[in-house]
Amino acid sequence: MKAVTQQGFTFPEVLAALAIVGLAIGLIGSFAGARIDAGKIHVKWTESRYIASLAARAHRNGLLTGDVATAADLQTALPHLSVPARLGDGQTYRVALDGADPRILIDGETEAVRVPFPASELRIPLWRARRLRQIRQGTE
């Protein structure tokens, strides 16, 4: 009498393998989606900071006046530079000039992107940099 040998996989084994492969693909997809979202947010913030630095430069030179400026105002103030009319994802923005602190308001959101600190101010404590800016503004 011959012993019966199994050839191939049984149905439960195939289902278990498919379930594990599906879970692995879902896990990889969730990590990839989070990285893609983080990349998009980083690009948006980098672009906003660049525009804010352009606005700070134009404001320092006295080329921007008023409390709020648009992309067209910024382009008029800095004609030698290419100022984007919209952010990379198509969102509109405005430049709010609060004293010497220009901020970018994106689509009316409450959070604003500020200009990064100059490198010289990063080497000293934050409270000291703030005090030096106040002294500098008082003398101007």
Q: What is the arithmetic mean of pLDDT over 101-113?
A: 66
- Whether the predicted pLDDT of 109 surpasses 80: no
> In which order are the strands placed within the sheet that holds 68-69?
68-69, 93-98, 101-106, 112-114
**55/104 Cα distance (integer angstroms):** 9
What are residue 54's DSSP bridge partners? none
Q: What is the pTM of this model?
A: 0.59
What would the pLDDT profile of 26-50 be if each residue is shown by its tens digit?
Answer: 999 888 888 888 888 888 888 888 8
